[in-house]
Amino acid sequence: MKKIIFIFLILFSLSEVVFAKTPFTEFKVGYLDPRDTKAGYIFGINVGRMIDESLSWSFELNYFQKNYKKITDVAVSQNGLNRYSTKELRVELTSRIIPLFLKLNYEHSVRPGSPLYARASGGVGWEFVWNKENNYDTNQFKNRFFNGFGWQLSGGLGFEISSSANLFIDAFYNESKVKRNKKTNSLGYPTWEELDISGLGVRLGISIVGFGWL
């Protein structure tokens, strides 16, 4: 956590010239495949300001959720026209991941005058995971909270659709191992629970230049 505080202090100590540059906002939707949970959709918003014509800095907030249910049929009935089944919910799991990143972004036209441009970004931040686990077979109901340092790299292509809007597609890699329940066992060894949410993903989005909250 100290790393993130240090990075934010550096950012806010930058000159007013940097903060006076053009703002931008990106809206993203994609698919992420973390190692220790099922793959699912990820949504994000990236808000920042330009440093020069190619570089920018930004804050990015993402939201990932995956649900799992184990349902079984316990009875089937027929009334002549319709066939009904009675179902049982045995297990219900929900995993929510919220990564927060401070990012440095690069964009450059593939050639002068072309609406197509290359994109790349790198970011560091903190990632949070909430797992809700309802197991009706064992009558166990738990809520687990994990958090930890994370970083992300991405690369892709963009296409200019107007003077202030661009469409883009990015491939990205997210690296983070979040932890919880840190303690010392009876033998004096430190122990913790760990969840590896590292994985590859892909995102589509739109970038609006001149629109932002920073």
pLDDT tens digit string along 149-167?
A: 999 999 999 999 988 899 9
Assign 6 a pLDDT band (cuts: 50, 70, 90).
Answer: low
Cβ 50 vs Cβ 24: under 8 Å: yes
The pLDDT, as a whole number, for residue 17 is: 43
The pLDDT, as a whole number, for residue 76 is: 74
Q: Which residues of 159-186 are buried (b: 16+ CB within 10 A; e: fewer)?
A: ebeeeeebebebebebebbbeeeeeeee
For the chain, give the percent of residues with pLDDT over 90. 60
Rounded CA-CA distance 124/187 in Å is 35
- Ramachandran bin of 113, using left for φ above 0, alpha for ψ from -120 to 50, beta for the remaining angles: left
- pTM for the full predicted model: 0.82
Rounded CA-CA distance 56/75 in Å is 60
The total number of residues shown for the chain amounts to 214
Cβ 203 vs Cβ 28: under 8 Å: yes
Q: Which amino acid is at 66?
A: K
- pLDDT over 90 at 112, yes or no: no
Q: Look up tokens 């927060």; give the residue.
A: 100
Cβ 182 vs Cβ 190: under 8 Å: yes
Cβ 28 vs Cβ 45: under 8 Å: yes
The pLDDT, as a whole number, for residue 4 is: 57
The pLDDT, as a whole number, for residue 176 is: 97
The pLDDT, as a whole number, for residue 201 is: 97
Assign 69 a pLDDT band (cuts: 50, 70, 90).
Answer: confident
Rounded CA-CA distance 70/88 in Å is 8
Assign 8 a pLDDT band (cuts: 50, 70, 90).
Answer: low
Of residues 69 and 167, more confidence is placed in 167
- pLDDT over 70 at 73, yes or no: yes
Dihedrals φ, ψ of 134, to 5°?
Answer: -115, 110
Q: CATH number of 2-10+30-73+84-209: 3.40.470.10, 2.40.160.20, 3.20.20.450, 3.60.21.70?
A: 2.40.160.20
